[in-house]
A and B are shown apart, each in its own frame.
Chain A
Amino acid sequence: MTVDDAYRILRFIVRKNQLGSLSPQDFQDAFNTAQRNYYDFLIGRIEQYQYGSSKPRVGLGMTDNIISRLMPFYNEVNLPVFSGTVYKPSDLNKIYSIFTSNMYRVYRLEENRLSERIQDSIDPIDEANAFYVEGLATLKIYPTTLTTVNMTYFTSPYDVKWNYTLDGSGRPVYSSTGSVQPSWLVNDFDEIIARAAKLIGVSLKEPIDIQYGEQVIAKGE
C-alpha cells in the first residue's frame, strides 16, 4: 500500500463525515503521528506497566505476530567495540538482541547492578557471560576485550511524504517521485489510518471520527 492509498482512504473517511478537505500536510502530520503511536503500541506502552510487572497489554516479544508486524523496521549490524564501548546506530529505536561473533548472547544489565556483577564470583566476565549497560549514545560492553558485536534492533518508522505537483487548476496531483512510502505491512494500515482519523477528529472537534478511531484502537478494525 502506498502513501497515496493511505491518503485516499483517509480523505474518504473525512469526506464521509462531512468534514471538508484534508490537505497533504495535514494528512502527513496525522499519518506520521498515528504510525509513531501504533509503533509504540507494538513495542509496548509503558503506561500499562504495573508495579512489579513490566508487561504491557501488547508488547515486543509477546507473540510472533507482533514481531512480524515490526519486521519492516528490523535491522542487523555488526558493530566495532572500542575498548568496551559501542556506538549505537543512529537510526536505533529499540534494541532487540546483541550477540558476539561466536553466537553468545550479550544480555542487558542495569547500571545499578554493574558493580555487583563485576565482583560476582560465580559468573566470570567472559564472552560466554557478556553483558552491556546502555547509555544515551553508546553501550558499555563487558568483557572489554570483545572487538565486535552483532546487534539486531528496530528503527522508528520513517515519516511518510505525499509528494505532489500542481495541475492546471492549482490542485495537488500525487507524484510518486519524491514521495516517501510507509514501510508497514498491509494489515497494519487500517490500524494506522484509524489512529490518524482520530487525530483529525480531535483537530476538527469531530466526535464521530474520534469514536471511530478509539473503537479500532480498542477492538481492531
Chain B
Amino acid sequence: MIVTTQNMIDRTRRTYYANYPSDDSTLTDNEILLHINDAVAAVITKQATEGYQLTGIMSVPEGYISTFTFTSLIKDNDTGFYYTTIPHPPIGLSGNSGVESVFFSGFSGTSRPVLYVSPREVDYFRFMPSHPMAAYYWIEGTTLYFFSRTNLPSTYKLQLRMATHVTSDLNAPINVPPDAIDLVYKLTLEKLVQRKGLAGDDIVDSRDK
C-alpha cells in the first residue's frame, strides 16, 4: 500500500483513539497535518545532518524534493529586483541546502541555474561584474527574489526545486522516503500523546479527547 498524507492522518487518528475515532473526537485532520508537517521538517533536518556527518556533504534525500513552478514574477520598480511568493520558507539547513536549484522555463526548455547569493551579500554582489545572461536569487521568508542583467520576458516561468514538508494533495503519496515514514509517524504521535494528557474543561459527556 502506497502511503498518502491522508493515510498518515487516518493512521495517526486511529492509533490515538485506539480505534476509529468517534463522532465527538476533537482531534481534526488539520491539527494532525500540522504535526505531520513539523515532523517531516524535523526528519529532513535529522537525515541531512546525519548524512553530512557521514559524507561531509549536506544534502536532502530525494524523497523530500518537489519542484514548484511560478508564473507570477513581479518586478519591483524601485529596486529592479524580481520577486515571487513561494509556498513556505526553505528548510533551514546550512549552506542553503534546503533549496536544490532554481531555474527558468517557458521557452521550450530550461535555463542554466539561477545562482544563489546570500541575502547578506546581495547588495554588494549586485554591482560586481557578471555574465550578461546570469541571474541570481535569494530568499527572505516566503519571498524569492532574483535579479538579472537583462529584462525577463513575460512568458518566463520560475522553477524552484527544494525540500518540502507540506503537500497540497492529501491523497497523493506522501513526500517522505519510505524508511523515514515510521520516524515521522512516531514524532507526530509523540506530540499528540502530550496533548491527550492535558487537562481540559470539557463538558461533553465522555468526550474522546
Tell me the A residues contacting B by CB distance below 8 Å.
44, 52, 54-55, 59-62, 97-99, 105, 107-108, 110, 122-124, 128-129
Contact: A122 with B28, CB < 8 Å? yes
Measured CB to CB, the closest approach of chain B to A72, in angstroms, equals 21
A62 to B206, CA, bound (A): 9
Quick check: which of B29-37, B55-63, B120-128, B189-197 contacts chain A, the rest being far away? B29-37
Q: Is B169 an interface residue (CB 8 A)?
A: no
Given contacts A52-B199, A107-B26, list 9 more A-B pairs with CB under 8 A: A54-B203, A54-B205, A54-B207, A62-B206, A97-B23, A98-B23, A110-B204, A123-B31, A129-B30
B48-68 CB contact bits vs A (8 Å, 1 = yes)? 000000000000000000000
Chain A residues lying within 8 Å of B205, measured Cβ to Cβ, are 44, 54-55, 59-60
* A/B interface sample: 12 pairs, CB < 8 A: A54-B203, A54-B205, A55-B205, A59-B205, A59-B206, A60-B205, A107-B24, A107-B26, A108-B204, A110-B203, A122-B28, A129-B28
Measured CB to CB, the closest approach of chain B to A188, in angstroms, equals 22
Chain A residues lying within 8 Å of B31, measured Cβ to Cβ, are 122-123
Q: Given A52-B199, A107-B24, answer yes or no on A123-B204 (Cβ-Cβ < 8 Å).
A: no
Of chain B, the residue at the smallest CB distance from A121 is B30
Contact: A122 with B34, CB < 8 Å? yes
The count of chain B contact residues (Cβ–Cβ below 8 Å) is: 17
Of chain A, the residue at the smallest CB distance from B206 is A55
Measured CB to CB, the closest approach of chain B to A103, in angstroms, equals 11
Chain B residues lying within 8 Å of A52, measured Cβ to Cβ, are 199
Measured CB to CB, the closest approach of chain B to A102, in angstroms, equals 15
Contact: B24 with A128, CB < 8 Å? no
Contact: A105 with B206, CB < 8 Å? no
Q: Given A108-B24, A123-B30, answer yes or no on A61-B204 (Cβ-Cβ < 8 Å).
A: no
A214 to B34, CA, bound (A): 53
Of chain B, the residue at the smallest CB distance from A122 is B30
Of chain B, the residue at the smallest CB distance from A106 is B23
A110 to B206, CA, bound (A): 14
Of chain B, the residue at the smallest CB distance from A52 is B199
Contact: B29 with A128, CB < 8 Å? yes
A44 to B205, CA, bound (A): 9
Chain B residues lying within 8 Å of A110, measured Cβ to Cβ, are 203-204
A62 to B205, CA, bound (A): 11
Chain B residues lying within 8 Å of A123, measured Cβ to Cβ, are 28, 30-31
A98 to B24, CA, bound (A): 10
Q: Which are the 6 A-B pairs with shortest beta-carbon distances?
A: A105-B23, A54-B205, A122-B30, A97-B23, A123-B28, A55-B206
Measured CB to CB, the closest approach of chain A to B35, in angstroms, equals 11
A110 to B22, CA, bound (A): 17
A60 to B204, CA, bound (A): 13
Partner of B204, one of A44, A54, A98: A54
A204 to B207, CA, bound (A): 42
Chain B residues lying within 8 Å of A105, measured Cβ to Cβ, are 23
